[in-house]
Amino acid sequence: MVFILANITKKQIEDWKKGTKKFLYSPSVSGLRVKRNKNSFVWVFVYGDKRKPKNTSGNYPETSYTIGNIEFISTRDAEIKAFLIKSEIDNGIYPDSLKYPKNNQITLGNYFTDYYLDYCHKYHTAGSQANNIRVYFKSLWNKPLAHFDANTIQNWFNTVKTADGKKPAPTTLKQRYGALIKLFSVASGITEFYKVLDENPLASISLPQYTIEQLQAIRQSREESKKLRRALSLDEVTKLRNAVKEYGNEKKTVENELVPRWFNLYFEFAYLHGFRPSDIVSFKWSHINGSMIRFTPVKTQNTSQIEIIENLSPKLIPMLTEWRSKNSSEWVFPNKFDITRHMGDKPHDKAWKAIKQMSGLNLQFYTLRHNYVSQKIIQGTPLYAIARAIGHTSTKQIEQHYGHLIIDRNKSGGLE
């Protein structure tokens, strides 16, 4: 069967997003529309449920089925999906009649392997979250999802160990549990295809209270992390840049032509703008308009719709132009095995290891983000402007983690 459909254009969607109307209707499939939610835009298909009695207007009650986020489902795919759903409804098969595995029959291990890994691949979510679940929750692999409760989490909290047999830091446990919460939110219905639970059993379960010793460990960890939140010295910056240049020049294309390596550009995004690695790999060319970049940080996409709107550093413009001429993907940093996807969560690991050896500096890659914030503070940039530039909704975290720099700046009056 051939479907001839009139697509909603990308321009129509972009124009509609700028307005206030709740729906954008498909011109080709009755019932299909784009819906404006609080934090997202999704495809929905609205249909009359003939299983229920007609209302006072003589129509069957309307029911909606969410097809998925417009970021991940193309217009044509949404229209074809809606057409197929409509055909099934005409034959008496409704979307909510789909049979999912009973929630007492699927274990964490089965769900992770059969559902969650596919979800991570399809929606380009951070692979590190999946790996955290695989490593830290292996002891619960055979436990059914529906049987998870407060006792399950308490026992895990008390017994979990790192690979070398040590008790993980409290902050690490919080991050790992957050990864498990994400899996359960997918299992309980972020998107219907991966739903196996009627409700999320972990929705109201927090990690157990820390002991006094653990709280002391948290404070010590924070003090140690403050040492990393500093501005790089001129000598350190020079050594890093020389190492990045040397690393890039060692790499050549198949034609033996020297081109800007992806890592050179990746490094400048982190150094000049303080962008997170997860944001850098998620950049599409559609996010860049001339010398302007506009995107919603990956970390906050599900909690807030704050946008980062920044003028790109002049140093980046020629590099982007050169890189764009050799890149046919929609992603600025495409996966070399599949250009329809972006690079993995931390593609810089191998390159950064080489950079550290070349420069003689034992620095984390995330230090580039700390340096960006620190330099801005020292230069006297308003804290709110810094927060917006790095994707924070308030200045609270900057004040908490970089307060020592703020004090120094106030004493010295800025750059020395």
* Mean pLDDT, all residues of the chain: 81
State both tokens at 315: 């140093």
Q: At a CB cut-off of 8 Å and minimum separation 6, what does 80 contact?
A: 3, 5
| pLDDT of the residue at 125 | 60
Among residues 373, 371, 375, 370, which one has the least CA distance to residue 384?
A: 373
Mind listing the pLDDT tens digit for each residue in 34-43? Answer: 998 877 788 8
Residue 73 CA to its chain's centroid (Å): 17
Closest CA to 283 of 124, 400, 168, 94: 124
Please give the pLDDT value at position 312.
94
Residue whose structure tokens are 């996966």:
335
CA-to-CA distance for 231 and 377, rounded, in angstroms? 9
Instruction: Kindly tell me if the per-residue pLDDT of 182 is higher than 50.
Output: yes
The pLDDT of 400-412, averaged and rounded, is 62
Residue 354, pLDDT above cutoff 60:
yes
More confident residue, 256 or 66: 66
Instruction: Determine the length of the chain.
Output: 416
pLDDT at position 49 over 60 = yes
- pLDDT attached to residue 118: 73
Token reading at 100: 């999912």
Amino acid in the structure at residue 63: T
Instruction: Work out the average pLDDT over 222-228.
Output: 70
- Per residue in 81-103, pLDDT (tens digit) is 888 888 888 888 787 665 555 55
pLDDT score of 104: 63
pLDDT at 382 over 50: yes
Question: Is the pLDDT reported for residue 241 higher than 80?
Answer: yes
Instruction: Name the most confidently modeled range: 33-37, 140-144, 334-338.
Output: 140-144
pLDDT at 379 over 50: yes
Dihedral of the CA atoms 47, 53, 58, 60 (nearest 10)? 0
Question: Average pLDDT, stretch 286-306?
Answer: 80
Query: Greatest CA span in the chain, whole angstroms?
Result: 77
What is the predicted pLDDT for the residue at 411? 42
Rounded mean pLDDT, 269-281 = 93
pLDDT over 90 (residue 184): yes
pLDDT of 229 > 50? The answer is yes
Give one DSSP letter per residue of 250-270, joined into a string.
H---TT------HHHHHHHHH
So what's the pLDDT on residue 401? 78
Structure tokens at 16: 């509609």
Report pLDDT digits (tens) over 96-133.
Answer: 665 555 556 889 988 888 788 777 766 656 566 787 88
The pLDDT assigned to 154 comes to 93
Residue 304 pLDDT > 70: no
- In this prediction, residues 41-65 reach a mean pLDDT of 85
Report pLDDT for 336.
Answer: 80
Q: Which CATH architecture has domain 10-97?
A: 2-Layer Sandwich (3.30)
Query: 229-412: which CATH architecture?
Result: Orthogonal Bundle (1.10)
Q: Torsion angle of alpha carbons 221, 222, 225, 226, nearest 10°?
A: -150
Answer whether residue 260 shows pLDDT above 70.
no
- Give a three-class secondary structure readout of 65-108: EEEEECCCCCHHHHHHHHHHHHHHHHCCCCHHHCCCCCCCCCEH
Contact assessment for residue 31 and residue 82, using Cβ atoms and an 8 Å cutoff: yes
pLDDT band (50, 70, 90) for residue 270: very high
DSSP of 141-154, one letter per residue?
TTSBGGG--HHHHH
Best mean pLDDT range from 98-102, 155-159, 247-251 = 155-159
pTM: 0.55
- Position 167: which residue type? K
Percentage of the chain exceeding pLDDT 90? 27
With tokens 């020629």, the residue in question is 318
Q: What is the mean pLDDT of residues 155-176?
A: 81
Query: Residue 77 pLDDT more than 80?
Result: no
Two tokens, residue 6: 């009139």
Model confidence band, residue 72 (pLDDT cutoffs 50, 70, 90): low
Averaged pLDDT for residues 179-208: 86
In this predicted structure, the answer to whether residue 275 has a pLDDT above a threshold of 80 is yes
Nearest one of 215, 201, 77 to 140, comparing CA atoms = 201
Angle of CA points 233, 234, 240, to nearest 5°: 90
Query: In the predicted model, is pLDDT for residue 64 greater than 50?
Result: yes
pLDDT value of position 301: 62
**Cα distance between residue 110 and residue 394, in whole Å:** 40
Q: What are the backbone angles phi and psi of residue 386, rounded to the nearest 5°?
A: -65, -45
Beta strands in 221-337 (DSSP E): 288-289, 292-295, 308-311, 334-335
Question: In the predicted model, is pLDDT for residue 406 greater than 70?
Answer: no
Distance in angstroms between the alpha carbons of the first and the last residue of the chain: 72
Instruction: Name the one residue in this structure whose structure tokens are 């081109």.
Output: 259
| CA-based nearest residue to 281, from 124, 73, 69 | 124
Instruction: Supply angle C-alpha 288, 293, 295, rounded to 5.
Output: 100
pLDDT confidence bin for 414, thresholds 50/70/90: very low
> What does the pLDDT read at residue 365?
92
Q: What is the pLDDT of residue 150?
A: 93
